[in-house]
Structure 1
């Protein structure tokens, strides 16, 4: 992950333009509302909850007997906050944890479930208190879809097929009756099911050819009633690799709904010494955003492979792990991956959203890593306390884009933001017509020092104003703490057209999401 040199092509903005060092006038954005593009699947805003650190235990699950207010063991404060994000989908139980998880350990009376060791994440005890039934309680409480990741690495075809039967069968089979005995009469709705995770690494150190053969074997034996059959996801590649997408989309022509893809933003580009979550200087701000923007090229390259092998576009590209990854906070368990979350993370999230929107035809699901207390989290908790991170606010501001219809957008006169030899576009943008009929516009100013004027035009329509919210702060590493939980939060934003022209001032290091009025 080398830092981008010189300049980057326009990211998901339809028009590729040159980026001068400065702009004499405003950045000009033109939206073509008469040519609707693909729908932005709501699952692009999916979440990820792994058995990792305090991401589930303590952060979300406290158990029915806890003094912390809860519903079926899940914290009410966290549930309430997540509901405001309209969480569309949750991926569980991993991650690397998935390929060491044996589902029968997580059913039946919780006080009789075996205690295991989480060898991937911190070597701590895994109580198995959260299992299949508890997970479906969570998604039901959130009104979300369920994405279950199966154990290919250390499991068997029989184990995985029996889990599918346990969850989806409406028969009187022994497994279906066991589910009923454990408290669930009707089948669970498993919307998506993945056969393994990161098969190239922690999921088994496989080659794509070997994995493809295993996948076909598993796929043939994962049977469920038609009305309860989940969509199947193949474990794909990461970073700049396209071989996994190529091999899998060539060989897997059966029930495969998607090939997964993982990419994490690391400021230094090095796994050893990733960079701090706070207290960073401007070069680390730049390298973080530059490395984030690389995902656009990665998606383009993988989509080109999918287009070659799957011209009917039946197979999606699911970016089911993405987000920032920094050095863990000092004094915390290195295996818990706990990091602070700043304004920089909110900008990273918004840049990713704009890129995902631009590839909506193939990118039909993404899952940020992770929901609570792990990596680029939405929420941080400390015992009975909870706070919302800047990333949470970015997700909440972008809610109107869920299931919205993307609109072509062109940028002209976009200034570069430059530090040393690295340059990136100063403004990133995305537009869509939401289900409420309104045209929504999202803008990101990557420059932490200079505001930008953005002139907005909707072809064939007179725009009279814009109303929404802005997320920014005085410092690049501004963040919320339990002593100051609202230091970074959105503020109202509105602007009126003057002389028939709408010009929006976007503050430095800011995310702005508005509905256009006409």
Structure 2
């Protein structure tokens, strides 16, 4: 069939259900499947879940086995519909919510110890009306312990500094556009807060996670590429957007339970770019690598004193430094910092109320604001060890370079 939505190319399903789960097993990640509510049927969705997860005797389980997979897979997360406020059907929130209630009923958990985390289709950017009405409909006449028949509510937000119609180049931009991009990246915190306020009315115990499952930069695709493939380069600007976003998600981890950048490879703010047998890691990849220690750790309260607003336009001013902090089960503190300034470094001192730092290591990603990796020069922007710091009795002192993302590991 021809994919008329993305690229007008033939979709031969050569990377389908089996290949997706194989990839997840090879790289050791959890699985997130999305079902078609816009043009699919309840029967279609129900049978797909049965095909993937049922371990008994049934027509769908037998079909899976005949296609080469004896044992069922595990679905960790299942999205019931996608962007049904727009390209997924242009539905009203109440209409979608009633469809969601119906469809999710047939996304069955066949093994009691393998609960499928159901994600309801949430708002686009600042559409609080959608959030309110979807939750209202899902909670109506529902058992209290069902919390609206959902485990998560999705939210999508992309950063395009020049607007939707003219998104701007991924690699050619000035300082004014740099700050405008970072300002718009920081806006995701306001979005999280406004949707959380509504969710708190229905779910004060925070049993439902806010699932930020599409976020990142969206620029004009690279010249000479298929516009439907959304292929774009990745600079230090993307690295800062990633760092800021991940810091914000950390700070709101009581409600934000999952955050998936869009996308992984060759699309939008990718972490990997390929060209045939060639592959490179983007600046965004290196930021994710540095932030991995926050995962499964506990948020530590932190704040910055003495920050200032910087930028080239009054409407798009940003803080010069941004941070988040966590502590893991072994007592290791991870601090991630972003210097948003294009040109100015900042003297920093990290002060601890209780910890006496003894063992400290650090890493950094930094370069010119428009620096990026190519297949000819794949290591132009990369994570390197950061050694320029001093340890005192209660603090760590250092100078954070301009246009950088820094990670400290302290014990």
TM-score normalised to structure 2 length: 0.95
Matched with 1:497 is: 391
Per-residue deviation, 1:228: 4.0
Matched with 1:248 is: 134
Contact kept, 8 Å, 1:168 with 1:229, in 2: the verdict is no
Matched with 1:128 is: 13
Matched with 1:364 is: 257
Superposed CA offset, 1:62-91 (max 9, x none): xxxxxxxxxxxxxxxxxxxxxxxxxxxxxx
Superposed CA offset, 1:168-221 (max 9, x none): 111111111111111122211001111110001111001111000111111223
Distance 1:303 1:506 in 2: 33
Contact kept, 8 Å, 1:465 with 1:497, in 2: the verdict is no
Question: 4+ residue runs of structure 1 moved beyond 4 angstroms?
Answer: 498-501
Superposed CA offset, 1:106-164 (max 9, x none): xxxxxxxxxx1111111111011111111110101011111000011110011001111
Distance 1:136 1:502 in 2: 44
The structure 1 residue matched to 2:360, chosen from 454, 466, 479, is: 466
Distance 1:435 1:380 in 2: 34
Per-residue deviation, 1:252: 2.3
The structure 1 residue matched to 2:79, chosen from 162, 185, 194, is: 194
Does 2:294 correspond to 1:408? no
Other structure's SS at 1:376 match: coil
- For structure 1, the 5+ residue unaligned runs are 1-115
Contact kept, 8 Å, 1:249 with 1:310, in 2: the verdict is no
Question: Residues 249 and 187 of structure 1: is their aligned pair in 2 closer, same or farther, counting only changes over 3 Å?
Answer: same
Per-residue deviation, 1:333: 0.9
The structure 2 residue matched to 1:163, chosen from 24, 48, 62, is: 48
The structure 1 residue matched to 2:63, chosen from 178, 190, 196, is: 178
Contact kept, 8 Å, 2:299 with 2:327, in 1: the verdict is yes
Matched with 2:121 is: 235
Distance 2:137 2:330 in 1: 41
Contact kept, 8 Å, 1:168 with 1:228, in 2: the verdict is no
Contact kept, 8 Å, 1:448 with 1:508, in 2: the verdict is yes
Matched with 2:143 is: none
Other structure's SS at 2:253 match: coil
Distance 1:200 1:477 in 2: 35
Matched with 1:441 is: 335
Contact kept, 8 Å, 2:351 with 2:394, in 1: the verdict is no
Distance 2:393 2:80 in 1: 58
Matched with 2:142 is: none
Distance 1:501 1:336 in 2: 47
Matched with 2:90 is: 205
Distance 1:490 1:449 in 2: 20
Per-residue deviation, 1:466: 3.4
Other structure's SS at 1:386 match: strand
**Which aligned pairs between 1:46-57 and structure 2 lie closer than 5 A?**
none
Does 2:109 correspond to 1:224? yes
The structure 1 residue matched to 2:245, chosen from 352, 359, 368, is: 352
Contact kept, 8 Å, 1:165 with 1:224, in 2: the verdict is no
Q: Relative to structure 2, which stretch is displaced further, 223-232 or 368-377?
A: 223-232
The structure 1 residue matched to 2:155, chosen from 255, 261, 268, is: 261
Distance 1:500 1:296 in 2: 31
Does 2:174 correspond to 1:287? no
Does 2:22 correspond to 1:137? yes
Contact kept, 8 Å, 1:329 with 1:339, in 2: the verdict is yes
Distance 2:12 2:86 in 1: 25
Distance 1:288 1:118 in 2: 31
- For structure 2, the 5+ residue unaligned runs are 140-145
